[in-house]
A = this chain, B = another copy of it.
């Protein structure tokens, strides 16, 4: 945790966005032993930031470990929570990792699939910086809300 380069500025305004607040909430929710209790938001989310150089150093051999998988889950849980807030219907994520870091994640609202992505190299799950992470989430969220709007009858079942 004593890195020379700071991965997230602790006064970054993005830290105040709904998505990042939800991410912090998700991370605290899985923190069974209270390790993060006195951690600030930027320190909790630091593990999501992987620069290109950091990614290159991570091997993609074997299955990704539980800590990486819990981060992937936290990310898609946060997106589900935001979809729920936005459209008022329950959104459920479902993650399926097959092997060697390949898998698929979907989020359903009613009978509707609003997020559907194939995953690969899950070992290297991370974002170049906090704003890239939020952009990605915003994109998924807006597509999901659009789908719910388009097929509202299937979503509202």
Residues of A whose CB lies within 8 Å of any CB of B are: 94-96, 104, 106, 108, 110-114, 116, 147, 150-151, 153-154
Interface of chain A, main secondary structure: strand
* Interchain residue pairs with CB less than 8 A apart (21): A94-B94, A94-B96, A94-B104, A94-B106, A96-B96, A106-B106, A106-B108, A108-B116, A111-B112, A111-B114, A111-B116, A111-B147, A111-B151, A111-B154, A112-B112, A112-B113, A113-B113, A150-B154, A151-B151, A151-B154, A154-B154
Inter-chain contacts of A151 with B (CB < 8 A): 111, 151, 153-154
Question: Sorted from nearest, which 3 A-B pairs have the closest CB atoms?
Answer: A151-B154, A154-B154, A111-B113
Inter-chain contacts of A153 with B (CB < 8 A): 151
| Closest B residue to A92 using CB positions | B104
Inter-chain contacts of A94 with B (CB < 8 A): 94, 96, 104, 106
CA distance A111 to B96 in the complex (A): 17
| Closest B residue to A153 using CB positions | B151
CA distance A150 to B108 in the complex (A): 18
Selected contact of A154 from candidates B96, B112, B116, CB within 8 Å: B112
CA distance A112 to B150 in the complex (A): 13
| Closest B residue to A114 using CB positions | B111
| Closest B residue to A94 using CB positions | B96
